Structure 1
Amino acid sequence: MDADLTTTPDTDTVTGPDTDRTSGPDMAAGTDTSPDTLDDLDADTGADMTSAGSRGRTGRDVPSVVPGWLRDREAVTGLVREKVHRTARLSVFHAVRVPLYWLRVAQWSPRGLARGTRAVYDWVTDTRSRAVLRSLAGLSSIGAQEGTAYRNVQEAWRERVRLRLIVSGVAGLVLSAAVAVGVMSATTQVRALVALVLVSVLGWAGRPDGAAPVVSAAGNAAGTPRLDTALIASALDALGIAALTRGLKEEGLTAVSPIHRDGPGWRVDLDLPRGVPAGDVIERRDRLAAGLRRPLACVWPDADPDAHEARLRLWVGDRPLSKAKPKPWPLAQRGAVDLFAPFPIGTDPRGRAVTLTLMFASMLVGAVPRMGKTFTLRLFLLAAALDVRAELHVYDLKGGADLRPLGTVAHRFRIGDDTEDLAYLAADIADVKADMTRRYKTIRSLPEKICPEGKVTPTLAAQKRFGLHPVVVAIDECQIGFEDPEYGKQIEADITDLVKRGPAVGIIVLLATQRPDAKSIPTGISANAVLRFCLKVMGHTANDLVLGTGAYKAGIRATMFARSDRGTGYLIGEGDEPAIVQTSYVDATTAKTVAARARAARLAAGTLTGYAADLDATPDVDDAPTLLDDLAAVMNPAEPKVWSEDLIARLVDLRPATYTGWTPADLGNNAAAYGIRTVQIGRRDSAGKVINRRGLALPDVLSAQRDRTTEHAQDVEPGSTESDQDKAA
C-alpha cells in the first residue's frame, strides 16, 4: 500500500491514495513535514517525546524547545550506538567485498586501455581539425577566398600535429625512463600496488555505458530496513484485518507523535482507523514484526486505554529483548529489602528498571509451563527474604527443586503434593488466618498515637512485641491445593479470606499456577488480588483470569509472547498502566547465595524462626555465624576473586555492627586465622590499565569451610550428638 505521512503540531495522518482527507493547516497547504526516516526526528514541533501519546485528541502538550528524546541520556546514547553500529556493519560489508569489486573493475581494463590509447591518438593527430579539413575538401565548389582559408587551416593543423608529436614523444621517453627506474628500484609491494591502481583506473575508464553498479547493494548490511512511515503503514495493511485495510484507504492512520527515539529503540503513537481496536493489532504481533522486517522480540505494540481503544503505542527495539544482555539483579550480591517500599524485579523492553511493592497486596502469577513462572515466584520470595522482618511460608506443590533455597529462611516450608503435604499446608493456612484475627485485635487495641491510620506501618512491623511483621504466603501450583478432595475446600476458603482481609494487617499471599482457569483461580481470589503478573498464556480466558476481566479486550494480551520470551510478562497493579517486564534471571547458584545472605542477616537480627531455625544448615561449632559463613554469603561463583575493599563493603552491608571500621589488614588477619591467605587480584580500569590489589578467593573460603566441618565431625564421637558431649564435659 502506498501511503504518505503528513505532520502537523497536533496530529499526523497517513492517508491512502484514494482519499483526499487532510488534517491540520500543513496538510491543507500540501506541505509534508513528516519524519520519513529515522533521522527526521521531531525538532520543530517542540513536542515533549517523554510524554508522547499521553495527550488526548483534543489536548495539547506544553511546547518544549528541546525534544524530550534529546533530554533522555539513554535515548541519545542509543541513537549514537545505533548509528555507529550501522556504519560499522556497512563498512565491514563493503570491506570484505573489495576483491570482488576490483575484479569487476579489472575486467574492463582492456577497454579502458583502448579508450586511453584512442584518446591520446585523437589528441596528437587533432582529429577534430582533420574532420573540418575533410568537410571543406569535400565541397563541390570553392572560391579563392575559401581556398585560402582551407590552406591556412591545413597549415595550422600540420604545425599543431607536429608539435604534439614532439611533445608526446618526449613525454613517452620520460615516462618510459621513469617506469624503468621505478620497476628496478621499487619493492615488490610497491610495484604490485601501482599495478593494482593502474588496472583499477583503466577499468574504471573502460566501464561500459549502462553497466551494473560495481558496489553491491547493502540494503541488508544493517540487518533491518529503516523504520519509516511507509513501512509502518504497509505492515499494518498486511495484517489481514479487513476493517484496518478499509480504514487506511478511507481515512488514513493518525500519528499522535512522530517516530522518535525512546531508549534503545524507536517509538510512535498511532490512532488506528475508527472501529479498529489496538488489541486486534497486538494479537497479530508476529505478522506486524514480519511486515516491519524485525525479529518478533524487537516489536512491542501496546494499547493506551487511558486515551481510547484505538490508540496504539508501537515500540521497536534495536535488538531482540530475548537476546539483549540481561541486566543482573541489583540485589544478587548486596543490599536489603523493605517490603513497604519498591524493590527491583527486572526491566521493561527499553531497559528501564521495574520495581514492585508487595506490602498491602496479594498477587497472582500465571503462565503456561516452561515460561519462567516458578523462577519469577522465587525472585519475589528471595526479595522478601532480604527483609529480615518478613515471615515466609513457602509451598511448592509441583514437587520440584526450584524453591528449595528458600527453605533456609522460611518459617514454614514444604515441597510436594502428598496427603501429608496438603494437610501441613491446610493447618498452616488455618494458623495464619487465626493470626490475622489476632492482628486486627492488636491494631484495634493500639492507641491512635501509635497507630493513627489503623494499619500496619514499618515502625509497628519492626517491633516484635506487637507481632505485626510482614507475613508472605507463597504457593506454587496452587490449583493442586484448591482441587484436593479432602483439604481443597478448606484451603480455598482460608486463602480467599487471607486475600480479602490479610493485606491490611501485613499478610501477603502469592499464588502461582500454570493452568489459569476458574478452578485454579477461584473468583473470590481473582477479584481481590491487586497485583497480577502474566507470562505467556494460550487464550483470552486464561489471559483475563490472571490479568483481570476485560484485559484482553483492552489490548493487554499475554498471548502475544513467544516461547523465546521466557521470564517476560505483563505486570498489572503496580503502576498506573500495565507494564511489560522482563524479570531478572537468578539461577540456582545465585539463589542459594542470596538465601545464605538472608539467613545470616536473620540470624544477626534474631528473626530466624520455624522450619529454618530447626535446620542444621551451619556446620560450625558455635551457633553464631563466623567470618567464613559471612564470606561465603557475600561471595559468588561468578566472581571467584574479590578485592578486600569490596569484601569489607559487602560484609558491612550484611552485618554493620560486626564489620564497620574494618580495614583490609583486619580482614587479612582474621581470614588467616582460618588458614586463608590473601592473593593478588588484577583488574583493568576503564582506560585499560591493570590495577593490582590484595583480596580473597572463593575456593579458599569454601575449602576452609569444608576443613572446619571435617574437624568438627571428628570431634563428635560416633553414636553421640554434640549436645551429649557438651553435657558430659
Structure 2
Amino acid sequence: MTENVVRLFKAPPTEASTSEYVLPHAVPDLPEPSKTAPATIPLWVRSGRAIKAAATHERTRTAGRVAARHSMYVAGGARIVARRAWDGRTAARYERMIRVAEVAGQIEEAKEWEERGRQFRAERHQRRMELLAAPQRLAKATAVGAGWGAGTLLAVGATLAVSDDDPTQVITPIMATVDFIHWLSIIVGVVWGPMLAAAPWIALLGLWDVGRRRQAAPQWALPANQQDDRDVVPDEGAITAALRHLGIGPLNRAFKDGWQPRWVSPTTRLGKGYHTQLLLPQGVTVEMVNGKKKVLAHNLLRKPVEVWPTEPPKQPGVLDLWVADQGSLSEKVAPWPLLTEGTTDYFKGVPVAVSQRGEPIIGKLMAANYMVGGIMGSGKSSLVIALLLGAILDPLVEVEAYVMAYNVDYDPLKPRMRALVKGDEDEQIEVAVNALRRLRDEVTERGKLLEELGGETVKLTRELALRDPRMRPKVVVFDECHELFMHKTYGKEAAELAVKVMKKARKVGITLIWVTVSPTADSIPRDVTRNTSHRVAFAVGDHIANDGLLGSGKHKAGITATTLIPGEDVGTAVTVGFTSKPFEVVRSHYVARDPEKGIDEVTPVVERAIGLRDGVEPLAELPTFQPADPLADVAAVLGDEPRVLTQEVLHRLAEHNPEAYREWGFADLKRALEPYGAEQYKSGGKSVVARDRVHDAILERLAEDADEEGDDHI
C-alpha cells in the first residue's frame, strides 16, 4: 500500500526538519473544504449569529457589568443622599426608632425617642419662624452694614486727605472698593459659566462616590474582588459584615439608619480563636442573634459549633462573641497527661479535657458532682472514664459504679473498684436504690464525724481523710440513670434520695456522677439538675435535652449542644461549672481501649493505681446482693411465736435486712404475703401475722417447686 502524505502545516525549512510528515498507515484523502459554503447561509442568519456572538462575548458581559455597576452607584448614592436629607429635615428617624422599640417591648426606650422627636419638632418650628423674619432682618442688616461701610471708607479717605494735604484723597477708598467689585464681577463672569456647566457632573460624581462606598450596586455587577471578600480572620469589619447579612429585621433597619457597632472590647486573639464584645442596637437582642447562629457562622466562614454568641451576665445588651479557628474541632486532642505516669489528689481535681482555646480543663472532685448526657456514641464515656481513672490514681479514693445497662466501658476498672453492678432489671435497679440509701446514711454519719474531728466550720481535707478511713473520698457513678429515675417502683424514692445525698455529699467528700442518654424533665428530676455543680452536654437532639442537662434557658442564651454533629463531634461537649466562664466548649481526653485492634491504654493505668494502694487499709466489702425473700424472712423473724403484731414484724424485718425492708409499711408487707395467703389479719382488733399461715405457705411453695422440677425431667 502506498503511503499517503498529509500536509499538516508549513514550518520554516531547516536541515533537520521538513514540512511534510509521513503517517505510518494509510489515511484516506480528505475532501477539500468548500469555498462556496458560507455563501449558501442566508445573510440574516449570519447577522444573527454575529450579533449573538458579540452579545455573549466576555468583553461585552464585562462592559455590561461595568455600566450597570456605575449606574447603580449613582442611583444608590442619590437614594442614600435623599434618605439622609429626608431624615435630617423630618422626624422620620424618630418615628422608626419608636416603632422598633415598641416591637421589642422597650416602652421606656420608645418614650425617650418620642421625647427626642418632640424636641426636634420644636427646634424645627423655631428655625422656620426665624426664616420668616429673616428678610426683614437681612434688609436691616444690609442697610446698617452699607452705612457703616460707607462711613468707614469716608473716614479712611479723610485721613488720607489730611495726611497728603490732597482733598481728592477723600474718595480714594471708595473708588478702590468700586474697582475691586468691578474686577470681582469680571472674574465671576468668566468662571460662572464653566462652574454652572460642571455642577451637574460634580453632583453626579458625588452621588457615585456615595454609592460606591456603600456598595449600592447589585452583587452580580460588583467586581470579582468585591463580590465576596470575606476573610477567615473575624476582625471588626468581618463581624460587622456578618451581622449586616443575618436577616434580622430590627438589625437591618439599624444599619440602614447608619448604625455602627460600638466595640466594648476589640477583637483580640484568645487561645485558638478570636474574642470580641460589641453593644447591639436598640431592638436587637442576643437571643435574636443566636436564632441566626448558623447564618452567622456561615458569614464568618465557620461551622456553627465554632461560633459562640452569648450575653455576659453583668453586661446586658452586649454581644460577647468567640470565634474558633477554622477546623479547630478536627485537630487531635493531646494524650491524657496521666497516661504513663503521675498520681492525683482528690482535693485538687484531675485532668479530663482541653478547651477550644487549648487550655487544660480540670475536673473538680471535692465538693462537686456531675451530670453528663448526650446521644449514644457522642463521647460521654470518654469523659467519665477520664474522671474515674484520675480518681483511682489517688490511693485514698473509693469508686463504685451502678450501670443500668449491659456495657463493658467500666469492666477494665473493676479490679480497682469497690463495686460494679450492671443491668437494667429490677434486681439491679434495687441495688442502685440500696446504694443511694447507704449514701444517705453515710453522708449523715460523715457529717457527725467531721464535726467531731474538727468542729462545725471544719472542711474535709486530705489530712483528715488520712487520719480516719471512714472519711475517705468516694466517687459513685450512676450510668443510664434515667432507668433508675423512671422506674415504676423505685423511681420516686430514687429521686428523693439523690437530692438528699447531693445536698450533703459535697461537704463530706462524696462525688456523684450521673450519666444519661435521655436528659428530659421526665427522666431526670429537675432538683437533681439544679443541685449539680458540673454539667456536661455532648451532642443532643433538641433544646429540651440541652436545657435538661445544662439548665433552663441555656439554649436561648446560646449555650447549646444542639449544634454538635453526632458522629463528627465525638468527644466535644458544652459544659457549665468547670471554669468561672458562663460555659466552656471542651474536648475530652480519650484513653483508648479497643480489644479488636489490640489497643488497651486503660488497664496499665488501673494496674498502676492498684500498685499505689499498697499500704492503704482496705475498707469492709459491701454486702453482696441477694434478692430478698419476704416469705422466708417473715418466717425467720416470727421464730416460735404463733402470732406477732404486724408493726413488730416490720420492725424485725428492718433489723433483719435493712437494705430491703427499711422503708416497708403495712401495704408492702400485704403485697408480699397475699399471693401466698399468708397476709396479716385482725385478731382481737389488732393486725397480726400468723406463724402457721406463713409456714403452710412455705410448704406449699416447696411442693410447687418440686412439681415443676419433676415436670422439667419428664
Q: TM-score normalized by structure 2?
A: 0.51
Q: Given the alignment, which residue of 400, 403, 410 partners 2:407?
A: 400
CA distance in 1, matches of 2:428, 2:273: 48
Q: Does 1:498 align with 2:501?
A: yes
Q: Cα distance, 1:226 vs. partner? A: 4.7
CA distance in 2, matches of 1:242, 1:609: 67
Q: Cα distance, 1:475 vs. partner? A: 0.9
Matched residue, 1:146: none
CA distance in 2, matches of 1:309, 1:540: 23
CA distance change for structure 1 residues 225 and 338 in 2, over 3 Å: closer, same or farther?
Answer: closer
Q: Given the alignment, which residue of 372, 384, 392 partners 1:385?
A: 392
CA distance in 1, matches of 2:487, 2:472: 31
Whether the 8 Å CA contact 2:312–2:319 is kept in 1: the answer is no
Aligned residues with identical type, % of pairs: 30
CA distance in 2, matches of 1:491, 1:347: 34
Q: Secondary structure at the match of 1:541?
A: helix
CA distance in 2, matches of 1:470, 1:442: 14
CA distance in 2, matches of 1:249, 1:230: 17
Q: Secondary structure at the match of 1:505?
A: coil
Q: Does 1:418 align with 2:421?
A: no
Whether the 8 Å CA contact 1:256–1:271 is kept in 2: the answer is yes
Whether the 8 Å CA contact 2:353–2:383 is kept in 1: the answer is no
Q: Given the alignment, which residue of 438, 441, 444 partners 2:448?
A: 441
CA distance change for structure 1 residues 441 and 257 in 2, over 3 Å: closer, same or farther?
Answer: closer
CA distance in 2, matches of 1:609, 1:324: 46
Matched residue, 2:612: 601
Query: Aligned pair count?
Result: 397
The one of the two structures with greater contact order (alpha-carbon pairs below 8 A, sep at least 6) is 1
CA distance in 1, matches of 2:241, 2:623: 60
CA distance in 1, matches of 2:416, 2:347: 19
CA distance change for structure 1 residues 612 and 489 in 2, over 3 Å: closer, same or farther?
Answer: closer
Q: Does 1:457 align with 2:464?
A: no
Q: Secondary structure at the match of 2:464?
A: helix
CA distance in 1, matches of 2:565, 2:319: 20
CA distance change for structure 1 residues 277 and 366 in 2, over 3 Å: closer, same or farther?
Answer: farther
Q: Cα distance, 1:409 vs. partner? A: 1.3
CA distance change for structure 1 residues 463 and 536 in 2, over 3 Å: closer, same or farther?
Answer: same
Whether the 8 Å CA contact 1:535–1:570 is kept in 2: the answer is yes
Matched residue, 1:557: 560
CA distance in 2, matches of 1:561, 1:281: 18
| AA at the equivalent of 1:289 | A
Whether the 8 Å CA contact 1:366–1:513 is kept in 2: the answer is yes
Whether the 8 Å CA contact 1:411–1:609 is kept in 2: the answer is no
CA distance in 2, matches of 1:349, 1:314: 14
Q: Cα distance, 1:19 vs. partner? A: 7.8
Q: Which shifted more, 352-361 or 302-311? A: 302-311
Q: Given the alignment, which residue of 481, 484, 492 partners 2:484?
A: 481
Matched residue, 2:274: 266
Q: Secondary structure at the match of 1:504?
A: coil
Q: Cα distance, 1:218 vs. partner? A: 11
Q: Secondary structure at the match of 2:575?
A: strand
Q: Secondary structure at the match of 2:401?
A: strand
Q: Given the alignment, which residue of 583, 586, 604 partners 2:591?
A: 586
Whether the 8 Å CA contact 2:232–2:301 is kept in 1: the answer is yes
1:70-104 CA deviation, whole Å, 9 max, x = no partner?
xxxxxxxxxxxxxxxxxxxxxxxxxxxxxxxxxxx
Whether the 8 Å CA contact 2:308–2:558 is kept in 1: the answer is no
Whether the 8 Å CA contact 1:279–1:556 is kept in 2: the answer is no
Q: Cα distance, 1:413 vs. partner? A: 0.7
When the two chains are superposed, the root-mean-square deviation of aligned CA atoms in Å is 3.1
CA distance in 2, matches of 1:342, 1:507: 13
Q: Does 1:516 align with 2:519?
A: yes
CA distance in 1, matches of 2:535, 2:443: 23
Q: Cα distance, 1:305 vs. partner? A: 2.1
Q: Given the alignment, which residue of 468, 472, 479 partners 1:469?
A: 472
Matched residue, 1:281: 289
Q: Which shifted more, 564-573 or 227-236? A: 227-236
CA distance in 1, matches of 2:230, 2:253: 32
| AA at the equivalent of 1:256 | V
Whether the 8 Å CA contact 2:250–2:283 is kept in 1: the answer is yes
Whether the 8 Å CA contact 1:533–1:569 is kept in 2: the answer is yes
Q: Secondary structure at the match of 2:471?
A: coil
Structure 1: gaps (5+ residues): 1-15, 21-216, 615-729
Q: Cα distance, 1:225 vs. partner? A: 4.5
Q: Cα distance, 1:468 vs. partner? A: 0.7
Q: Secondary structure at the match of 1:526?
A: helix
Q: Which shifted more, 599-608 or 579-588? A: 599-608
Matched residue, 2:94: none
Q: Cα distance, 1:364 vs. partner? A: 1.1
CA distance change for structure 1 residues 225 and 551 in 2, over 3 Å: closer, same or farther?
Answer: closer
Query: By percentage of residues, which structure has more helix?
Result: 2
CA distance in 2, matches of 1:590, 1:283: 42
Q: Given the alignment, which residue of 522, 533, 536 partners 2:536?
A: 533
Matched residue, 2:108: none
Q: Given the alignment, which residue of 567, 570, 573 partners 1:566?
A: 570
CA distance in 2, matches of 1:441, 1:515: 36
Q: Cα distance, 1:414 vs. partner? A: 1.2
Matched residue, 2:145: none
1:174-208 CA deviation, whole Å, 9 max, x = no partner?
xxxxxxxxxxxxxxxxxxxxxxxxxxxxxxxxxxx
Matched residue, 1:330: 337
Q: Which shifted more, 604-613 or 224-233? A: 604-613
Q: Does 1:233 align with 2:240?
A: yes
Mapping 1:218-229, distance limit 5 Å? 225-229=232-236
Q: Cα distance, 1:511 vs. partner? A: 0.5
Q: Which shifted more, 601-610 or 410-419? A: 601-610
CA distance in 2, matches of 1:478, 1:546: 13
Whether the 8 Å CA contact 1:384–1:390 is kept in 2: the answer is yes
| AA at the equivalent of 1:426 | V
Mapping 1:277-316, distance limit 5 Å? 277-297=285-305, 299-316=306-323
Q: Cα distance, 1:296 vs. partner? A: 4.3
Q: Cα distance, 1:283 vs. partner? A: 4.5
CA distance in 1, matches of 2:451, 2:314: 43
| AA at the equivalent of 1:599 | I
1:545-598 CA deviation, whole Å, 9 max, x = no partner?
221223233332222323322222222223322222111122222222222221
Q: Cα distance, 1:322 vs. partner? A: 2.2
Q: Secondary structure at the match of 1:440?
A: helix
Mapping 1:129-168, distance limit 5 Å? none
Q: Cα distance, 1:513 vs. partner? A: 1.1
CA distance change for structure 1 residues 278 and 408 in 2, over 3 Å: closer, same or farther?
Answer: farther
| AA at the equivalent of 1:594 | V
User: Which has the higher Rg, Structure 1 or Structure 2?
Assistant: 2
Q: Secondary structure at the match of 1:605?
A: coil
Q: Cα distance, 1:246 vs. partner? A: 2.6
| AA at the equivalent of 1:543 | N
Q: Does 1:348 align with 2:355?
A: yes
Matched residue, 2:197: none
Whether the 8 Å CA contact 1:279–1:552 is kept in 2: the answer is no
Q: Secondary structure at the match of 2:265?
A: coil
Q: Secondary structure at the match of 2:609?
A: helix
Whether the 8 Å CA contact 1:275–1:310 is kept in 2: the answer is no
Q: Cα distance, 1:303 vs. partner? A: 1.7
Q: Cα distance, 1:295 vs. partner? A: 4.1
CA distance change for structure 1 residues 382 and 613 in 2, over 3 Å: closer, same or farther?
Answer: farther
1:455-489 CA deviation, whole Å, 9 max, x = no partner?
32221112234x11111111111010111223323
CA distance change for structure 1 residues 219 and 239 in 2, over 3 Å: closer, same or farther?
Answer: closer
CA distance change for structure 1 residues 281 and 586 in 2, over 3 Å: closer, same or farther?
Answer: farther
| AA at the equivalent of 1:540 | H
Matched residue, 2:129: none
Q: Cα distance, 1:411 vs. partner? A: 0.8
CA distance in 2, matches of 1:401, 1:439: 32
Q: Cα distance, 1:289 vs. partner? A: 2.1
Matched residue, 2:438: 431
CA distance change for structure 1 residues 378 and 602 in 2, over 3 Å: closer, same or farther?
Answer: same
